[in-house]
Amino acid sequence: MRERKILLVDDEVPILRMLEEAFQMEGYEVLTAESAEKALELLARESVMVMFLDLKLPGMSGIDLCRQIRKENQFAVIYALTGYSNFFGLLECRAAGFDDFFLKPVGLEVLYKAAGDAFEKVERWNIFGCSRT
């Protein structure tokens, strides 16, 4: 398997740092951004196939960030993280292109499984020359 690089986007710095450390302890290379705009700057320089995006961000929302990412990358696995949940929010996430939706607080084991599943999918797709690396 190629590098296991994850992008985490959250404006709550303590949550961002905790998730960064947790994923690093699991062997992932972790990139972080505190805003959608900073995430887009990172993605202009880095190829990342697995992402966890907070929905409530200053400036551009996580929903809009996902839509923007999908314009360039149809094969990335993108997960929504949010402290707010309702049926319409879930529908909006699916319409924006999120692959799944996690309500905060979410257990680390759940996120580890999601990341592992995402990398398995990306690796499987790469067999067909579809993933962007």
**What CATH number did the domain enclosing 100 receive?**
3.40.50.2300
62-72 helix and 36-45 helix, angle to the nearest 10 degrees: 20
pLDDT value at residue 131 = 47
pLDDT value at residue 56 = 93
Provide, rounded to the nearest whole percent, the portion of the chain with pLDDT above 90: 79
Q: For residue 1, what pLDDT band results from cuts at 50, 70 and 90?
A: very low
Is residue 132 included in any domain, yes or no? no
pLDDT value at residue 3 = 80
Is residue 50 included in any domain, yes or no? yes
Average pLDDT of the chain, as a whole number: 91
C-alpha–C-alpha distance, residues 69 and 72, integer Å: 6
Q: For residue 74, what pLDDT band results from cuts at 50, 70 and 90?
A: very high
Q: Domain total for the chain?
A: 1
Is residue 133 included in any domain, yes or no? no
Q: For residue 90, what pLDDT band results from cuts at 50, 70 and 90?
A: confident
Residue 32: enclosing H or E segment and its boundaries?
Answer: strand 29-33
* Mean pLDDT of all residues in 13-42: 98
* Mean pLDDT of all residues in 90-106: 91
What domain range includes position 46?
5-126
